[in-house]
Amino acid sequence: MLQSKKSKLIAGIVFDIIGMLTPFILDLAWAPISSYLMNKMYKDDMGKKASIFVAVEELIPGLDFIPTFTIMWFYTYVIKSKQEKSEFQVID
């Protein structure tokens, strides 16, 4: 699907905007679609958890403002990559 960091960020922002703009009736359709997209974009264990979270978040009224895709991108490419880099530092 989407491979580069930039394409995932752009797609994630678009998906977050769609999620924020859909009224509750459309959220019933958007919830499984967004869950599927999250699972395809982030195939690791955290992606599976995020796909469940995004579906629940879309189904609960009032939580549409949470930018779940953007948060997942930030976690994957900023927080997680910093953690991985610090694990591999050689200490003299």
Residue 92 lies in a domain: no
Tokens for 30?
């958007």
Residue 91 lies in a domain: no
Quote the pLDDT of residue 90.
58
Residue 54 lies in a domain: yes
Quote the pLDDT of residue 35.
97
pTM of the complete model? 0.83
Quote the pLDDT of residue 64.
85
Residue 86 lies in a domain: no
Mean pLDDT over the full length of the chain: 89
Residue 68 lies in a domain: yes
Residue 89 lies in a domain: no
pLDDT digit string (tens) for 28-59? Answer: 999 999 999 999 999 999 999 999 999 999 99
Which residues are CB-contacts of 58 (< 8 A; sequence separation ≥ 6)?
19, 22, 27, 30, 31, 34, 64
Quote the pLDDT of residue 22.
82
Would you list the DSSP string of 38-61? HHHH--SHHHHHHHHHHHHHHHST
- The alpha carbon dihedral of 77, 83, 87, 92 has a sign of positive
pLDDT digit string (tens) for 17-27? Answer: 999 998 877 88
- Domain of residue 40, residue span: 5-79
How many domains is the chain partitioned into structurally?
A: 1
